[in-house]
Amino acid sequence: MSDRGQPPVQPGQVGTRRVHTGRVLNLDIDQVRFPDGSVGELEIIRHPGASAIVPIVGAVDGPDPELVLIRQYRYAASGYVFEIPAGRLNDGESPAECAERELVEETGFSAGRMDYLYTMFTTPGFTDEKIHVFRAGELTVGETAHEPDEFMSIVRTPLSKALEMIKTGEICDAKTALAILYAAAFGLNPGSARAGA
């Protein structure tokens, strides 16, 4: 029984209609049953998900590992933003495959080791987007393959400096800040977790 003495209600989708289909995302208006049994409409951005990578040059377990960041022009942010490499999942692509592809495309580095760290919702108040975060090690240099609308440069920085950049707000991209903080706290020792396969 619920708090109000009524049988519990299973919240969830009652109906949906697509109002926009785009290249990057779709917009649906969903009819939703809430936990109290009421029904309302929510605008939901549908996104295929993405992978993001914390690339580490050299020893992963060194005293101050060197990270590979990108400095990318982001129109929505009105300028350049420091980020970790990341990108959308293609149809039929696993998160691990996406991580490997995006790392090469955006940085030119290939990873001899790609370890899953965790999966996060970006903004669950209005989108179903999930980002799967990986740590990449044993990097070898290659060629980038930027998309026509990608304007970025590679920035190699020690972890200590990246943490300071988060503290001062110089790194203001949420996925990047959270992924670096997570890796610093839990993910810099090589783990056995292999994910997103």
191 confidence band (pLDDT: 50, 70, 90):
very low
Indicate if the pLDDT at residue 193 is higher than 80: no
The domains of the chain are located at 12-46, 50-187
Average pLDDT across the chain, whole number: 89
Indicate if the pLDDT at residue 190 is higher than 50: no
Q: What is the tens place of the pLDDT at every residue in 117-171?
A: 999 999 999 999 999 999 999 998 888 777 787 788 999 999 999 999 999 999 9
Topology, domain 50-187: Nucleoside Triphosphate Pyrophosphohydrolase (3.90.79)
Q: What pLDDT is stored for residue 152 in this prediction?
A: 82
Q: What is the tens place of the pLDDT at every residue in 2-22?
A: 455 666 789 999 999 999 999
Q: What is the tens place of the pLDDT at every residue in 83-98?
A: 999 999 999 999 999 9
Q: What pLDDT is stored for residue 61 in this prediction?
A: 77
Q: Are strands 130-141 and 50-57 parallel, antiparallel or unpaired?
A: parallel
**What's the one-letter identity of residue 96?**
A
State the distance between the two ends of the chain, measured CA to CA, in whole angstroms: 40
pTM over 0.85? The answer is yes
For 102-142, what is the HEC assignment? HHHHHHCEEEEEEEEEEEEECCCCCECCEEEEEEEEEEEEC
List the structure tokens of 61: 């377990």
Cα-to-chain-centroid distance, residue 21: 22
Residue with tokens 């495309």: 105
* 49-61: average pLDDT: 91
> Per-residue DSSP letters for 59-85?
-TTSSSPEEEEEEEEEGGGTEEEEE--
Answer yes or no: are the C-beta atoms of 68 and 108 closer than 8 Å.
no
Q: Is the dihedral of CA 27, 29, 31, 32 positive or negative?
A: positive
